[in-house]
Amino acid sequence: MNTEAKTEAVSNPGLGSMIEITDLHKWFGEFHVLQGINLTVQKQERIVVCGPSGSGKSTLIRCINRLEEHQKGRIVVDGIELTNNIKNIEKVRAEVGMVFQHFNLFPHLSILDNLTLGPLWVRKIPKKQAEEAAMHYLEKVHIAEQAKKYPGQLSGGQQQRVAIARSLCMNPKVMLFDEPTSALDPEMIKEVLDVMIDLAREGMTMIVVTHEMGFAKSVAHRVLFMDYGKIVEGNTPEEFFSHPRHERTKLFLSQILH
Amino acid sequence: MDTLTKTIDAHEIRPPVTSVGVIGWIRANLFNSVFNSILSVVTLFFLWKTVPPLVQWAFIDSAWMTNSQACQQGAGACWSIVTSNLRFILFGFYPQELQWRPLAAMLMLFGLLFYSRDRKHWSKALGYGWIIGLALMGILMTGGIFGLTHVESTQWGGLPLTLLLAVFGLTAAYPLGVILALGRRSKMPAVKIMSILYIELIRGVPLISLLFMSSIILPLFLPEGITINKILRAQVAIILFTAAYIAEVVRGGLQGISRGQYEAAESLGLNYYLTMRRIILPQALKIVIPPTVSILISAFKDTSLVAIIALFDILRTTQTVLSNPQWMGFSREAYVFIGLLYFLGCFSMSNYSRKLEKELSTGR
């Protein structure tokens, strides 16, 4: 059975690759969670990864910014290879933004401070400049009026939008989304997806682990299906949803609303 | 005219007198069930038996400014033991005519502490203020320059000594405890093992034994002629002891911080120091304010143990007064007095921690 991801042409070919993953393997103890992943993500490409829980999709994207360490294979982000070299890891993390399922805002800091923390202390940007940039991104995610509040005072959808703004303040080249709307009430999912669609329109390279197939259909260049640590199938959204090739993909699609 | 409704006079109908006001409160809180009623009656009886005699003893029959003979003859409390010996209780063997110096030093300390209560006042200027203040306090106590007579540290005693041991002890133990907690959670084996060893060894012995070791055993190991100031030795023992307990409490707080916080910090590119300083420690230390303050309050009272190694803190000076044949037998009054002093100190710390917690809560 052909388990390699089918890579289709991206809408902007020739920009070069942002992420190259070659023969990636990862074990959690004895559990072989990633079994030989091969994936190339072009600049400005948008990928949606879906699959049943335990398939390794979160682990895959967490390997890209070294929240998880891989044991075998290569990951290269914007020309920098991810190894044990701390300097490289820090360089990669400066280019890669991450949005978590449970937001992970810093509850003891105001929204504005949440956003300016990275720029102030990692990029060493002067305070005034950092705050102006932060307000700009807060306006972008339509939440500027909450700047002085604390995360505990915001709703889930608002917190997730703040989390996206926080990542954007570091000017990343790639944004990773780990089930960004899975912890949200249905009425808040739209406001977050709208922000992500705006980001997509501006040409951000994005890898999104999600079950929101509407989002996949509207902005993804490719949809990948993962199961048991392998990329089973990958295709343009049109092809993926209308003509799934593998049995497992068909089974999965029948189980989720799309 | 509707015969089913009836207009009632529009005057105010008050609730029955037994359900509001004082009587209402008593009914609702003291006598609302059989068990509570019995308990209330028993307690009221107990209070009736004890409070009047207590007031009689402490205030009505008491002697405040007399000499010891009058006290022996009187039936009430002999507060004169405190008033006659106040200077010795408070200042120990510090030369009488120079006692304005430790007094001034203490007032300076109280002033700085009071000003530092408000977090809005915390600034670089306050930091410098503390450094200068501490230097001045040191000069006032020791003398030797600026025309002040030199006073050996062996003569320091009473409240200044207690405060010295407490303030330096607690402020040094806290950061040391935090470092130990971080060390214990470190992934580097050497650091982790050293931290565990330190914490377990120190927690395994009573403070008294550490004080003995520092004051009796340590000098045996020092080369001939080298002596370390006794107060310094006791101070170090108190710091090392308290730090071990703070370390475990802080470690508990660190364990309570979710992994997501670390991950978010890492994703933003924050290194270990920044993650701890800006994200993790502010949250962890805030959570463990209650047990931390408990430890610090305990440590404050534990300074009294230095009495065992012949340092004249406020407890030992009191005991010395009591060993005077004139004033023997009035230990109640003496201990009530220093009990009040300790209570004031501990209650202030407790109060402040409540205030701090309230200020720091961000609607989590």
Could you read off the pLDDT of A63-121 as tens digits, one per residue? Answer: 999 999 999 999 999 999 999 998 899 889 989 999 999 999 999 999 999 999 999 99
| pLDDT at position B14 | 82
Q: Are A161 and A196 in contact (CB under 8 A)?
A: no
Residue B359 contacts A where some CB pair is shorter than 8 Å: no
- Considering only CB atoms, B264 lies closest to which of A104, A121, A152, namely A104
CB distance from B263 to chain A under 8 Å?
yes
- Residue B361 and residue B364: Cα distance in Å, rounded? 7
Rounded-to-integer distance, Cα B84 and Cα B65, Å: 7
CB B275 within 8 A of CB B262: yes
Chain A interface includes B262 (CB < 8 A): no
Q: Which of B119, B267, B286 best probes binding to A when mutated, by most A CB atoms within 10 angstroms?
A: B267
Q: Is the CB of A108 less than 8 angstroms away from the CB of B283?
A: yes
A201 φψ region: left (φ > 0), alpha (ψ -120 to 50), beta (else): alpha
Whole-number pLDDT of residue B10: 67
Strand stretches in B174-325, DSSP E:
none
**B273 in A contact zone (CB under 8 Å):** no
* Strands, sheet with A31-42, edge to edge from the N-terminal-most edge strand: A31-42, A17-28, A72-77, A80-81
Q: Please give the radius of gyration of chain A, using alpha carbons only, rounded to the nearest integer.
A: 18
Whose CA is closest to B103, among B117, B118, B115, B86? B86
Partner residue opposite A102 with nearest CB, options B260, B278, B282: B260
Does A67 contact B263 at a Cβ distance shorter than 8 Å?
yes
Contact across the interface for A121 and B261, Cβ inside 8 Å: no
CB contact under 8 A, B261 and A117: no
Chain B nearest-CA residue for A98: B267
> Nearest-CA neighbor of B113 among B344, B294, B336?
B344
CB B170 within 8 A of CB B346: no
CA distance B166 to chain A (A): 30
Cα–Cα distance for residue pair B336/B116, rounded to 1 Å: 29
Mean residue pLDDT of chain A comes to: 90
Residue A225 has φ and ψ, to the nearest 5°, of -110, 125
Residue A6 has pLDDT above 50, yes or no: no
Minimal-distance CA residue of chain A relative to B359: A108
Rg (CA), chain B: 28
Calpha distance A199→B150 (Å, rounded)? 73
Residues in chain A closer than 8 A to B270 (CB atoms): 117-118, 121-122
Q: Which of B194, B199, B193, B192 is nearest to B177 (CA)?
A: B199
Per-residue pLDDT band for A35 (boundaries 50, 70, 90) equals very high
B269, A94: Cβ pair inside 8 Å? yes
Q: What is the pLDDT of residues A198-216, one digit of tens each?
A: 999 999 999 999 989 999 9
- Ordered alpha helix ranges (H), B56-157: 68-73, 80-91, 100-116, 124-142
| B292's tokens | 């931390």
Reply yes or no on whether the pLDDT at A53 is more than 80.
yes
How far is the CA of B46 from the CAs of B31, B42, B61, B250, in angstroms? Answer: 17, 6, 22, 43
Instruction: Tell me which chain B residue has its CA closest to the CA of residue A150.
Output: B362
* Residue A9's pLDDT band (cuts 50, 70, 90): very low
Do residue A150 and residue B363 have CB atoms under 8 angstroms apart?
A: yes
Looking at the complex, report in whole angstroms how far the Cα of residue A152 sits from the nearest Cα belonging to chain B: 5
Q: Give every residue of chain B whose pLDDT is below 50, as ranges.
A: none
**How far apart, in whole angstroms, are the C-alpha atoms of residue A151 and residue A3?**
43
pTM of the model: 0.83
Q: What's the burial of B146, exposed, middle or buried (CB within 10 Å: 0-12/13-18/19+)?
A: exposed
* pLDDT tens per residue across span A222-235: 999 999 999 999 99
Task: Report chain A residues whose CB lies below 8 A from the CB of B278.
Answer: 117, 121
Q: What are B84-116's pLDDT values in tens digits?
A: 888 898 998 988 888 889 999 999 999 999 998
Give phi and psi for B337, each to the nearest 5: -65, -50
> Is the CB of B364 less than 8 angstroms away from the CB of A97?
no
Give the number of residues written for chain B: 364
Which residues are within 8 A (CB) of B185 and not within 5 positions of it... i.e. 6 or more apart? B192, B251, B254
> Is there a contact between A117 and B268 if contact means CB atoms under 8 Å apart?
yes
